[in-house]
């Protein structure tokens, strides 16, 4: 059996492997939090606008839907694998759009999780709708779930008060953080080491990790992409395990890691 470790240090392990296969091999109940950005299945030959230019929405073969039933089977498999890896008080975050998030929500409930919150991530700089036949899609949904109804999940309440997050449009209305988060999509500075078609902003992952983990905890991302989850984890003093089946994306992650540990 080959060596599937693409990169390893004291705080970071990156695997080049299929997400579900690797998750089944990792130690049971070894992870405090999982952030997952699974395929949304958006690649349907449509068009969108990027940097002022009309471009295809197609990202790659992994983003092409195989039909509702097959897509649901995939989400059930990785969500079940995630359940085995979480510690008893661990939590799972999933990001998605309406193309995927409802399937994930159903799979969470089938596997015994307790859904804690659904977060609307509002993107103030989201792409316009050029067909003029729909509302402009300007948000994604994050589902935050505990491993079971009996879990005593971590929530760092004081760190989540509005005066800590100046970019939030609702900060003056209440001290408690609401479930609508206003965070722009990643700018050029976050993509200087390379680009990923579904890259999440560092500010989003920093908020997620700070809200639901403690220093020294282990964070897993089974769909590593360009490694934003790992960068946020390292900056906040957590350990990180990332899995991806694309060498080019793991190489971007390594570059980003090296930039912050110099």
- Residue 65 confidence (pLDDT): 77
In tens, the pLDDT along 11-65 reads 999 999 999 999 999 999 999 999 999 997 765 544 444 555 544 444 556 557 7
Closest CA to 78 of 45, 41, 37: 37
- Residue 14 confidence (pLDDT): 98
pLDDT mean values, one per 10 residues, the chain (262 residues): 84 97 98 95 53 49 77 96 98 96 97 98 88 90 98 95 60 74 92 88 97 98 97 97 96 95 74
Residue 171 in tokens: 């900060």
Superfamily of domain 5-41+67-260: Vaccinia Virus protein VP39 (3.40.50.150)
Residue 8 in tokens: 């390893």
Beta 12-16 vs 31-36: how paired, if at all?
A: unpaired
- Residue 62 confidence (pLDDT): 56
d(CA 99, CA 260): 34
Give me the residue spans of the domains in the chain: 5-41+67-260
Closest CA to 144 of 204, 67, 203: 204
- Residue 127 confidence (pLDDT): 83
- Residue 170 confidence (pLDDT): 53
């Amino acid at each position: 059996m080959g060596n599937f470790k693409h990169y390893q240090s004291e705080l970071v392990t990156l695997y080049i492997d299929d997400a579900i296969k690797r998750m089944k091999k990792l130690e049971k109940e070894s992870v405090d939090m999982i952030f997952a950005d699974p395929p949304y299945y958006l690649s349907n030959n449509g068009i969108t606008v990027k940097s002022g230019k009309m471009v295809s929405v197609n990202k790659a073969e992994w983003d092409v839907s195989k039909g509702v039933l097959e897509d649901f089977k995939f989400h059930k498999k990785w969500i079940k694998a995630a359940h085995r890896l979480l510690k008893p008080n661990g939590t799972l975050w999933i990001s998605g759009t309406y193309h995927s998030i409802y399937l994930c929500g159903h799979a969470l409930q089938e596997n015994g999780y307790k859904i804690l919150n659904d977060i609307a991530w509002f993107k103030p700089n989201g792409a316009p709708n050029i067909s003029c036949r729909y509302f402009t899609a300007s948000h994604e949904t994050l589902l935050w779930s505990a491993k079971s109804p009996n879990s005593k999940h971590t929530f760092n309440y004081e760190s989540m008060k509005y005066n800590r997050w100046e970019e939030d449009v609702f900060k003056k209305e209440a001290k408690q953080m609401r479930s609508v988060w206003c965070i722009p999509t990643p700018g050029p500075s976050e993509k200087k080491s390379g680009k990923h078609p579904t890259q999440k902003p560092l500010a989003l992952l920093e908020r997620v990790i700070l809200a639901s983990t403690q220093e020294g905890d282990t964070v897993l991302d089974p769909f590593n992409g360009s490694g934003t989850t790992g960068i946020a984890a390292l900056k906040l003093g957590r350990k990180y395990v990332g899995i991806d089946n694309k060498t080019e994306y793991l190489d971007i992650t390594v570059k980003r890691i090296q930039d912050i540990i110099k």
